[in-house]
């Protein structure tokens, strides 16, 4: 390994560790609230959000797994559990014998519609109420730039 390691400066390390702590604590608190108030796990909620973001409430397995950054086995197991609870169904793809769709059910729609108002209130209380509009704009710009680079790296 001839490459020189580009160690983080104290300022970079402070920002990185703060970001990781924020992500872990905020994710943990939001997840616990979601589970206790709506009986949905953060993973359930993520799947349902992605499905409700499409007009017909369906996505190909592989597209949903890619959007969530999940491995194939995790996707398969989690969707099977959600299907067992009646929140989604699996439909074969008529154009591709190997492909399948994940489709939200009425029970899934009811679950996310019940959970969303409480979840957004928790997001406001735990995060939004503590940052300024200018900070939100900067955070959005940073997030969009980094995500764009990650997406570019994964497809190129």
Pairwise CA distance, residues 54 & 51, whole Å: 6
User: Is pLDDT at 1 greater than 70 in this prediction?
Assistant: no
75-85 pLDDT, tens digit each: 999 999 999 99
Q: Is residue 106 part of a domain?
A: yes
Looking at residues 12-27, what average pLDDT do you find? 97
Q: Is residue 18 part of a domain?
A: yes
Pairwise CA distance, residues 156 & 152, whole Å: 6
Per the structure, the count of domains in the chain is 1
pLDDT of residue 102: 97
User: Is pLDDT at 101 greater than 70 in this prediction?
Assistant: yes
Q: In what order do the strands lie in the sheet with 88-93?
A: 58-60, 96-104, 88-93
- Domain ranges, residue 139: 11-155
pLDDT band at 2 (very low <50, low <70, confident <90, very high): low
Percent of the chain residues topping a pLDDT of 70: 97
Whether residue 111 contacts residue 78, with contact meaning beta carbons closer than 8 Å, is answered with no
DSSP states of 58-103: EEEHHHHHHHHT--HHHHHHHHHHHHHTTSEEEEEETTEEEEEEEE
pLDDT of residue 126: 97
Give me the CATH number covering residue 118.
1.10.10.10
Radius of gyration (C-alpha) of the chain in whole angstroms: 19
């Amino acid at each position: 390994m001839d490459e020189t390691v580009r160690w983080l400066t104290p300022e970079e390390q402070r920002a990185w560790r703060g970001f990781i702590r924020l992500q872990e604590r905020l994710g943990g608190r939001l997840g616990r609230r979601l589970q206790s108030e709506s009986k949905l796990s953060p993973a359930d909620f993520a799947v349902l959000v992605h499905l409700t973001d499409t007009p017909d409430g369906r996505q190909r397995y592989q597209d949903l797994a890619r959007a969530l950054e999940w491995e194939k086995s995790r996707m398969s197991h989690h969707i099977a559990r959600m299907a067992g609870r009646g929140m989604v169904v699996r439909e074969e793809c008529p154009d591709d014998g190997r492909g399948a769709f994940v489709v939200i059910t009425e029970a899934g729609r009811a679950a996310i519609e019940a959970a969303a108002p409480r979840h957004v209130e928790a997001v406001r209380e735990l995060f939004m109420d503590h940052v300024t509009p200018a900070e939100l704009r900067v955070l959005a710009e940073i997030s969009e730039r980094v995500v764009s680079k990650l997406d570019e790296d994964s497809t190129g």
